[in-house]
């Protein structure tokens, strides 16, 4: 976990330099740093609140000596995750200062071709009538944040298999850096929900109407979508802000989690992949992503996992 911590610290430093150079507004950058500090403080408070319960649970699984040995890696992982999140936000917000969104027309076209002339959001809204949408929405809006931010800490606290932990950490970092920064910049796109506002057309007017009819536009997800657009159009930034569709970080992190749970136990396979499917589905349903964003993320993370399994075979 020390390597992960120091990588995250260097990554944050690099992101800070990039943001200062390209955003040309020190107040925006310092605002994101302040947001990161608030996030760290919030996590620290939550840690203090749950430490008693967490310790009691862990004592049922591991002995006291093992628990104490995992405490330091846990702290490294927790702080490293905050650094990673802050660095990612800075780089994600910096991307639109480097270049404009350009890939949306191509992605929308590929999406429609892959689904035989039908936009995938249409299919998603048809299926929604038969699905537990409240649970799926909660997964996307709230539950996803736990593995996204805390997976390294969970690994440090609960998994004694060093090879598996190292392999999962590499995948986790690649989900943020490769998927969320490098490839996102190479195919900079905003997503279906912003398509019409971005290009001044009515290509996704049906999606806008569907989001109004389904109540998504008036929900917390709709509010987040509007806030992200206002931040982008105002050339500002904040912790957790930034618009980027291809590839999907939500799906990438969910794939990392699903593969990890599958390695931990056969009893967790359905849980992990069910969570992945729900995140993928809602990302298309609410218009944040084209399906190709998710397909690509699943393929890349799965291929990397397969390669790492050969380079770092299970113990």
66 pLDDT higher than 90: no
Each residue's pLDDT tens digit, 80-124: 888 888 888 888 888 988 889 999 999 999 999 999 999 999 999
* Dist. CA 85–CA 172, nearest whole Å: 12
Q: What is the rounded CA–CA span in Å between residue 303 and residue 299?
A: 6
Are the C-beta atoms of 294 and 284 separated by less than 8 Å? Answer: yes
Query: Has residue 23 got a pLDDT over 90?
Result: no
Instruction: Summarize pLDDT for 163-195 with one digit per residue, the tens.
Output: 999 999 999 999 999 999 999 999 999 999 999
How does the average pLDDT of the chain come out, rounded? 86
Average pLDDT over residues 43-52: 52
Residue 20 predicted with pLDDT over 60: yes
Residue 107's SS3 state is helix
Sorting pLDDT into bands at 50, 70 and 90, what band is 57? low
The single residue listed with the structure tokens 């302040």 is: 34
Structure tokens at 141: 């809006």
Q: Is 142 exposed, middle or buried (0-12, 13-18, 19+ CB in 10 A)?
A: exposed
| Dist CA 38 CA 33 (whole Å) | 9
Give Cα 255 to chain centroid, integer Å: 10
Q: Decide: helix, strand or coil at residue 112.
A: helix
Residue 246: predicted pLDDT:
95
Please write the tens of the pLDDT for every residue from 219-272. Answer: 999 999 998 898 888 766 666 678 999 999 999 999 999 999 999 999 999 999
Q: Is the pLDDT of residue 147 over 70?
A: yes
The stretch 23-51 carries a mean pLDDT of 56
Per-residue pLDDT, averaged over 4-18, amounts to: 91
3-state helix, strand and coil shares in percent for the chain, rounded to the nearest 5 = 80, 0, 20
pTM of the model: 0.89
**Cα–Cα distance measured from residue 95 to residue 66, given in angstroms and rounded to the nearest whole number:** 43
Higher pLDDT, 282 or 71: 282
pLDDT band at 312 (very low <50, low <70, confident <90, very high): confident
* Whole-angstrom distance, CA of residue 305 vs CA of residue 161: 16
């Amino acid at each position: 976990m020390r390597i992960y911590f120091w990588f995250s610290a260097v990554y944050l430093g690099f992101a800070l330099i990039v943001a200062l150079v390209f955003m040309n507004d020190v107040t925006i950058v310092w605002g994101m740093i302040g947001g990161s500090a608030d996030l760290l403080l919030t996590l620290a408070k939550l840690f203090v609140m749950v430490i008693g319960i967490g310790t009691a649970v862990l004592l049922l699984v591991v002995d006291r000596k093992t628990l104490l040995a995992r405490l330091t890696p846990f702290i490294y992982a927790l702080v490293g995750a905050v650094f990673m999140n802050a660095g990612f936000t800075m780089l994600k917000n910096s991307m639109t200062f480097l270049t404009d969104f350009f890939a949306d027309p191509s992605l929308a076209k590929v999406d429609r071709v892959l689904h035989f002339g039908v936009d995938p959001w249409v299919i998603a809204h048809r299926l929604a009538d038969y699905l537990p949408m409240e649970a799926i929405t909660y997964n996307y809006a709230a539950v996803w944040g736990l593995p996204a931010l805390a997976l390294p800490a969970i690994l440090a606290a609960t998994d004694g298999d060093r090879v598996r932990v190292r392999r999962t950490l590499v995948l986790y970092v690649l989900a943020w850096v490769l998927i969320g920064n490098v490839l996102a910049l190479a195919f900079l796109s905003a997503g279906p929900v912003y398509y019409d506002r971005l290009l001044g057309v009515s290509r996704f007017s049906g999606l806008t109407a569907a989001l109004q009819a389904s109540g998504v536009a008036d929900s917390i997800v709709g509010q987040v979508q509007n806030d992200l657009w206002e931040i982008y159009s105002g050339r500002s930034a904040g912790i957790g802000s930034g618009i980027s569709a291809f590839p999907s970080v939500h799906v990438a992190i969910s794939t990392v989690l699903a593969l990890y749970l599958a390695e931990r136990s056969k009893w967790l396979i359905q849980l992990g992949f069910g969570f992945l499917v729900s995140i993928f589905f809602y990302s298309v349903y609410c218009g944040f992503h084209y399906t190709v964003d998710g397909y690509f993320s699943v393929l890349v993370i799965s291929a990397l996992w397969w390669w790492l399994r050969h380079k770092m075979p299970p113990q």
